[in-house]
């Protein structure tokens, strides 16, 4: 303005006089000066003066070896170090005409140059952005570059920030190294530009996003919906799926119709999957999810697929102490119980018969569709050795084998591999008395036995040892008829009598009343154990295996015999005298009869003679 005012105050001007000399009028000079002033004013507006530290926008006018020349609208051109435009590979990433923000670092007007910095401009803008983000709690992008003690280093557009480990995620990070290299949004927790101190949080951003998603999900979620989710975590019992701010549980039993040992067989953290909402507790914000429910249930109409007694093939998927599980198709398994694996009566160990992955044949024994159970049998598709035994060993045939086991009810004899026959305790001996079979046999003894019966359905093989010989009691009735005297040995005494062994295994009872003519209060007053005596058979009952004996009868008979023997001489004397008398009387009677007969023939003389006899 002062310059504008100067010409008006001047009274004389050489230039003006020169102009007059040239023929110009005063009005012409006035108009030219006004135009020059306007041009100078506009030029001054176009070339602003920028202070050091100010961020301005400029245009690339040329690219030199060490600098990039820029027009920032100042009187002087600015230059930016070429290093500010190089990438990680050392290539210059700028072209003439590009508009770029730079910071006025230093002015050298005497040299006609302004030193500019692109990197410092970016940092200044970044710090301003971070300041704004800190004040407004708005997220900023960054990249996790390094795992350090207590947390991570995060690169926020070239500014290093620290992120505590507990601020890295909503849940504890099990694999901290897995986050290195990830680009995420971060919340500014602490900001101090002077100290270059910057603390950020990934968790804060995640929690905010989760709250927003959670609210939306709670509003829209319904049971039966099919939704998308992301596998967030795997456990032994299932997987947690993020379905939008809410973690739903996908239990391992709802992952697949087939058997799986661990969720990792089907899923991995980070997988995006579709699931079905099985249950939704809006009050407690609990969600149960299902994956297998998206496919048809293989147990539908299972009884029609696998009728009873159908022979099927299956893959062994699990072997336990009590049997093996066969997979008939994905999601359908049946159990072969250990008792249905073999006809053998020996202790069967399933792992010795089948192995996981093995394909085996089995017969369907039973189906419980409600409880999803199928009972299978392997031995049912094998030849039944019990049916062959009945043909091989008919009743009455004899076999030899070793004693495999001894119990209180009998002994088991090995017949064939895996087949044992039972000799019941009642079939061990006809007559021997014992409390336990081990008194007669021991393991390993080779014995001979008779086949009594074979029951293939019940898998029982009955043998007998006593049947090798006739039953001695079948001969007792003939051998020990009532009245027969036999010798025996007293083997035991009881309150009611004494038992006498007549032969091995054959015993008879002398009742206390049959011990003596006298009253007996205690059998041992008459006989002793081990004493050999002679008894008389009173009765025999082979069916009940009982023999009644009497000692008294023998004693009485012996006493009678002794008496008869003692009276024998007297009986002989009396007998001879009687015979003489009888003979004499007979002779006398005979003579009398003879004389009488003679008198009858002689007449009166004879009678007279007879009458005269007394006189004589």
Average pLDDT value for residue range 19-36: 50
Residue 299: its H or E element:
none
pLDDT band, very low/low/confident/very high, at 90 (cuts 50, 70, 90): confident
Each residue of 127-136: pLDDT tens digit?
888 888 888 8
Helical axes 26-46 vs 2-9, angle rounded to 10°: 170
Residue with tokens 């040992």: 261
Q: Sign (positive/negative) of CA torsion 179, 182, 187, 188? A: positive
Domain 137-206 has CATH 2.40.50.140: yes
332 φ/ψ angles, rounded to the nearest 5 degrees? -125, 115
Model pLDDT, residue 2: 37
pLDDT for 606 equals 40
Checking phi first, is residue 35 left (phi over 0); if not, alpha (psi -120 to 50) or beta? alpha
**What's the pLDDT band for 614 if we cut at 50, 70, 90?**
very low
- End-to-end CA distance of the chain: give it in Å, rounded: 241
Rounded to whole angstroms, the Cα distance separating 354 from 379 reads: 13
| pLDDT grade for 48, boundaries at 50, 70 and 90 | low
Contact 293, 278 (CB under 8 A): yes
What is the CB-side half-sphere exposure of residue 577 using CA atoms within 13 A?
6
**Torsion angle of alpha carbons 350, 352, 358, 363, nearest 10°?**
-50
Greater confidence (419 vs 269) lies with: 269
Q: Is the pLDDT of residue 12 over 90?
A: no
Q: Are 408 and 442 in contact (CB under 8 A)?
A: no
Most confident of 45-59, 253-267, 581-595: 253-267
pLDDT of 112 higher than 50 = yes
Closest CA to 249 of 295, 293, 291: 291
Residue 138 φ/ψ region, left for φ over 0, alpha for ψ in the -120 to 50 degree band, beta for the rest: beta
Q: Mean pLDDT across the stretch 210-237? A: 89
* pLDDT at site 230: 93
What would the two tokens of residue 561 be?
């015999």
Proportion of the chain in helix, strand, coil states, percent, rounded to 5: 30, 35, 30
Domain 302-381 has CATH 2.40.50.140: yes
- Of residues 528 and 579, more confidence is placed in 528
Would you say residue 236 has pLDDT above 50? yes
Write out the two tokens for 579: 């015979």
The pLDDT confidence band at residue 231, using thresholds 50, 70 and 90, is very high
What is 385-468's CATH superfamily?
A: Nucleic acid-binding proteins (2.40.50.140)
Computed over every residue of the chain, the mean pLDDT equals 82
Read off the pLDDT of residues 148-205 as tens digits, 9 standing for 90 and up: 999 999 998 888 999 999 999 988 888 899 999 999 999 999 888 777 788 999 999 9
Backbone torsions φ then ψ of 436, nearest 5 degrees: -140, 140
pLDDT at residue 456, rounded to an integer: 82
pLDDT greater than 60 at residue 39:
no
Q: Which range in 360-364, 468-472, 473-477 is most confidently predicted, on average pLDDT?
A: 360-364
Q: Which residue has the higher pLDDT, 602 or 253?
A: 253
In terms of pLDDT, which residue wins out, 5 or 446? 446
Specify the pLDDT at position 22. 42
**Token pair listed for 392:** 């091989």
The arithmetic mean of pLDDT across residues 92-107, rounded, is 86
Rounded mean pLDDT, 456-482:
85
Is the CATH code 2.40.50.140 the one for domain 221-294?
A: yes
Percent of the chain with pLDDT over 90: 38
- Please check whether the domain covering 472-550 is classified as CATH 2.60.120.460: no
- Separation between Cα atoms, residue 206 and residue 527, nearest integer Å: 107
User: Are 378 and 360 a contacting pair, CB within 8 Å?
Assistant: yes
Q: What is the pLDDT at residue 611?
A: 39
Express each pLDDT in 341-351 by its tens digit: 987 767 889 99
Give dist(CA 250, CA 273) in Å, integer: 11
- The model's confidence at residue 1, banded by pLDDT at 50, 70 and 90, is very low
For residue 187 the two structure tokens come to 């919340």
Classify domain 55-120 at the CATH topology level: OB fold (Dihydrolipoamide Acetyltransferase, E2P) (2.40.50)
- Closest by CA to 259, choosing from 311, 312, 334, 339, is 334
For residue 580, the model assigns a pLDDT of 63
With vertex at residue 85, the alpha carbon angle to CA 79 and CA 88, rounded to the nearest 5 degrees, is 150
Average pLDDT over residues 461-476: 86
Rounded distance between C-alpha atoms, residue 484 and residue 66, angstroms: 147
pLDDT of residue 5: 38
553 pLDDT above the threshold of 70: yes
Between 47-56, 234-243, 249-258, 370-379, the lowest mean confidence (pLDDT) is in 47-56
Does 306 score more than 90 pLDDT? yes
Token pair of 379 as six digits: 């031995």
> What pLDDT does 86 receive?
83
pLDDT of residue 388: 81
Cβ proximity of 326 and 362 under 8 Å: yes
């Amino acid at each position: 303005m002062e310059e504008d005012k100067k010409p008006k105050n001047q009274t004389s001007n050489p230039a003006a006089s020169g102009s007059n000399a040239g023929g110009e009028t005063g009005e012409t000079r006035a108009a030219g000066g006004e135009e020059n002033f306007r041009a100078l004013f506009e030029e001054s507006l176009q070339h602003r003066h920028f202070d050091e530290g100010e961020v301005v926008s400029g245009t690339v006018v040329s690219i030199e070896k060490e600098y990039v020349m820029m027009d920032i609208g100042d009187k002087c051109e600015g230059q930016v170090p070429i290093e500010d435009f190089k990438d990680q590979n050392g290539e210059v990433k700028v072209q003439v005409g590009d508009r770029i923000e730079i910071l006025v670092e230093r002015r050298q007007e005497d040299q006609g140059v302004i030193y500019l910095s692109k990197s410092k401009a970016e940092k200044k803008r970044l710090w301003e952005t971070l300041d704004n983000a800190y004040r407004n709690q708005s997220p900023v992008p960054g990249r996790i570059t390094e795992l350090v003690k207590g947390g991570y280093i995060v690169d926020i557009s070239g500014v290093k920030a620290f992120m505590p480990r507990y601020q890295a995620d909503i849940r504890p990070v099990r694999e901290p190294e897995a986050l290195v290299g990830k680009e995420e949004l971060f919340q500014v927790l602490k900001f101090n530009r002077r100290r270059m101190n910057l603390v950020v949080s990934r968790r804060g951003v995640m929690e905010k996003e989760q709250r927003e998603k959670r609210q939306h999900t709670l509003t829209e979620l319904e049971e039966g919906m099919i939704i998308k989710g992301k596998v967030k975590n795997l456990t032994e019992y299932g997987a947690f799926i993020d379905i939008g701010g809410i973690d739903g549980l996908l239990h391992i039993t709802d992952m697949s119709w087939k058997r799986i040992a661990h969720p990792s067989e089907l899923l991995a953290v980070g997988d995006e999957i579709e699931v079905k909402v099985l249950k939704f507790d809006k009050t407690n914000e609990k969600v149960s999810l299902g994956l297998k429910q998206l496919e048809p249930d293989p147990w539908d109409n299972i009884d029609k697929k696998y009728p009873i007694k159908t022979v099927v093939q299956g893959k062994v998927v699990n072997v336990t102490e009590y049997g093996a599980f066969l997979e008939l198709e994905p999601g359908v398994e049946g159990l072969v119980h250990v008792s249905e694996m073999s006809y053998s009566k020996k202790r069967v160990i399933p792992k010795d018969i089948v192995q996981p992955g093995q394909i085996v044949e089995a017969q369907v024994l039973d189906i419980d569709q409600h409880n999803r159970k199928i009972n299978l049998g392997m031995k049912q598709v094998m030849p039944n050795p019990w049916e062959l035994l009945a043909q091989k060993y008919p009743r009455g045939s004899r076999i030899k084998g070793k004693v495999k086991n001894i119990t209180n009810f009998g002994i088991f004899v090995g017949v064939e591999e895996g087949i044992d026959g039972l000799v019941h305790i009642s079939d061990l001996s006809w007559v021997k008395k014992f409390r336990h079979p081990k008194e007669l046999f021991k393991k390993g003894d080779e014995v001979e036995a008779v086949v009594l019966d074979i029951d293939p359905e019940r898998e029982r093989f009955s043998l007998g040892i006593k049947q090798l010989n006739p039953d001695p009691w079948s001969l007792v009735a003939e051998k020990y008829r009532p009245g027969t005297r036999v010798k025996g040995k007293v083997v035991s005494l009881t309150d009611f009598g004494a038992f006498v062994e007549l032969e091995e295994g054959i015993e008879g009872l002398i009742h206390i009343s049959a011990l003596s003519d006298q009253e007996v209060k205690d059998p041992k007053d008459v006989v002793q154990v081990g004493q050999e005596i002679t008894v008389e058979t009173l009765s025999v009952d082979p069916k009940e295996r009982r023999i009644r004996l009497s000692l008294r009868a023998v004693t009485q008979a012996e006493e009678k015999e002794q008496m008869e023997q003692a009276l024998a001489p007297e009986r002989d004397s009396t007998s001879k005298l009687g015979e003489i008398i009888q003979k004499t009387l007979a002779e006398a009677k005979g003579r009398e009869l003879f004389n009488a007969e003679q008198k009858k023939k002689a007449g009166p003389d004879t009678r007279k003679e007879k009458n005269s006899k007394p006189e004589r």
